[in-house]
């Protein structure tokens, strides 16, 4: 254990050194801070870091929009990066941790824990006490599991601009009440939600009966026991079968699907589905992001509509469809995604956005597959 005190005449930048060490050697990095008022994007994250979860509090409006935008600029494009805010109204108490923990390139685990929030004063003039600890893998997993369960929403430029109200500088000293963090999403009243949701539930029930057969065919194709063409013919016959009617989306796949490298898509989907029962949600998000990025690099044409529909069928509580109505609805609600993300990063961010929208169960929706049909009604011309 190493004690890091501030101010320290002999080691004035000791806390900064501890953070830089994390950025330099982490392959997995987790950051949690009660508030964020300063972020220096000039301290880069190493290129081998593949997973980052960064969670900040919103109590009293103390976290600053400018600092959040700096984090968005800092986000590495190669990593699975989740930048999230904790809405005050989703917790019985406050969000008050100050912790950074990481897994190093050598497989060791470390933690910086103490009094310092992510503020300029914490790294300079404030009296702060922190410790740098070498921790076990079990302790690292315990911290990661704990942080992954905190209710949170993805931070994007739209969210910063339209959903978060920071306290004025004059009021920062007053701490006069909780921030007005908006988790509100506009849903029109009077639409036939119940009818559409019931239809979607029927589709989900049909898929549930077919799921084992579909998964078996996915594996045959992934193992090259079934050719890409034969898989496509079989899948299309099932998916387009109006008597079964489990298909969520409209036309388009019949064109792109004919020439797709289906074994690539099946391998990616099974990698996710096989790991889903035994990993945390943030770990599964990481796997989804990596597999989608791999398919994007291969220019596989079914990584969008088909792949996200399959995820939504198999994991409807966690993953949504990626389609035009969802994008229009997010734009209308001033909650567009962050710019410059990879294909996989953007989809995982979308999943987080729609999980946040689902918390109020709009139209009676119980999962993201049902929320999709509610959104479709919202955006129908």
Confidence (pLDDT) at 338: 85
| Interior/surface letters 73-112, b for 16+ CB within 10 angstroms, e for the rest | ebbbeebbbbbbbbbbeeeeeebebbbbbbbbeeeebbbb
Location of structure tokens 């899948």: 235
How many folded domains does the chain comprise? 2
Instruction: Identify which of 85-99, 212-226, 349-363 has the greatest average pLDDT.
Output: 212-226
Q: What is the mean pLDDT of the chain?
A: 90
pLDDT over 80 at 252, yes or no: no
Would you state the pLDDT for residue 177? Answer: 42
62 falls within a domain? yes
Q: Give residue-wise pLDDT tens across range 276-290.
A: 999 999 999 999 999
Residue 329 lies in a domain: yes
Tell whether 297 and 218 lie within a shared domain.
Answer: yes
pLDDT tens for 95-150 read: 999 999 999 999 999 999 999 999 988 888 899 999 999 999 999 999 999 999 99
The edge-to-edge listing of strands for the beta sheet with 2-6 is 2-6, 128-135, 109-114, 98-104, 26-33, 51-57, 80-86, 153-154
Q: What is the pTM of this model?
A: 0.80
Quick one: 358 and 263 in the same domain? yes
pLDDT at 218: 97
How far apart CA 322 and CA 305 sit, in angstroms, is 6
Using DSSP, state whether 35 is helix, strand or coil.
Answer: coil
**Any domain includes 187:** no
Residue 381 has what pLDDT? 62
CA distance 227 to 234: 11
Asked if 167 and 220 sit in the same domain, the reply is no
Within a domain: residue 236? Answer: yes
First CA to last CA distance, the chain: 62
Q: What secondary structure does DSSP assign to 314-336, as a single string?
A: H-TTT-----HHHHHHHHHTT-P
Examine the pLDDT at 172 and tell me if it is beyond 60. no
Q: Are 153 and 241 in the same domain?
A: no
- pLDDT at position 267 over 70: yes
Q: What angle do CA 160, 161, 165 make, to 5 degrees?
A: 75
pLDDT at 202 over 90: yes
Domain carrying residue 112 = 2-171
Does residue 59 have a pLDDT over 70? yes
Q: Max CA-CA distance within the chain? A: 76
Q: What is the CATH number of the domain that holds 136?
A: 3.30.870.10
Are 114 and 210 contained in the same domain? no
In the predicted structure, residue 171 carries a pLDDT above the cut 80: no
Could you tell me if residue 178 is inside a domain? no
pLDDT of residue 174: 52
The answer to whether residues 221 and 312 belong to one domain is yes
Q: What is the pLDDT of residue 179?
A: 44
Q: Does 167 share its domain with 197?
A: no
Highest averaged pLDDT of the listed ranges 68-77, 161-170, 304-313, 354-363:
304-313
């Amino acid at each position: 254990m190493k004690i890091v005190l501030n101010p320290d005449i002999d080691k004035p930048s000791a806390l900064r050194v501890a953070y830089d060490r994390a950025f330099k050697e982490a392959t997995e990095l987790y950051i949690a801070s009660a508030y964020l008022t300063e972020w220096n994007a000039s301290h880069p994250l190493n290129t081998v870091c593949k997973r980052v979860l960064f969670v900040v509090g919103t109590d009293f409006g103390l976290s600053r929009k400018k600092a959040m935008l700096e984090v968005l600029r800092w986000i590495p494009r190669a990593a699975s990066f989740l930048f999230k805010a904790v809405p005050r109204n989703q917790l019985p108490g406050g969000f008050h941790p100050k912790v950074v923990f990481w897994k190093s390139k050598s497989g060791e685990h470390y933690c910086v824990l103490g009094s310092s929030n992510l503020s300029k004063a914490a790294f300079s003039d404030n009296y702060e006490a922190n410790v740098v600890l070498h921790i076990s893998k079990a302790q690292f997993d315990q911290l990661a599991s704990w942080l992954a369960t905190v209710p949170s929403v993805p931070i994007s430029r739209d969210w910063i601009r339209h959903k978060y109200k920071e306290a004025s500088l004059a009021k920062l000293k007053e701490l006069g009440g909780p921030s007005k963090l908006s988790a509100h999403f506009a849903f029109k009243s009077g639409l036939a939600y119940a009818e559409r949701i019931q239809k979607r539930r029927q589709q989900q029930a049909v898929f549930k009966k077919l799921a084992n057969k579909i998964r078996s065919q996915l594996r045959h194709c992934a193992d090259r026991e079934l050719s890409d063409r034969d898989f496509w013919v079989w899948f299309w016959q099932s998916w387009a079968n109006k008597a079964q009617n489990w298909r969520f989306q409209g036309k388009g796949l019949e064109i792109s699907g004919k020439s797709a490298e289906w074994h690539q898509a099946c391998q990616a989907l099974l990698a996710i589905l096989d790991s889903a029962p035994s990993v945390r949600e943030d770990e599964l998000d990481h796997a989804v992001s990596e597999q989608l990025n791999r398919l994007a690099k291969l220019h596989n044409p079914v990584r969008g509509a088909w792949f996200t529909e399959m995820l939504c069928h198999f994991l409807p509580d966690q993953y949504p469809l990626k389609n035009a109505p969802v994008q229009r609805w997010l734009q209308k609600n001033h909650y567009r995604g962050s710019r410059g993300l990879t294909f996989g990063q953007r989809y995982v961010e979308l999943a987080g956005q729609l999980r946040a929208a689902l918390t109020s169960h709009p139209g009676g929706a119980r999962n993201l597959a049902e929320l999709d049909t509610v959104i479709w009604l919202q955006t129908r011309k």
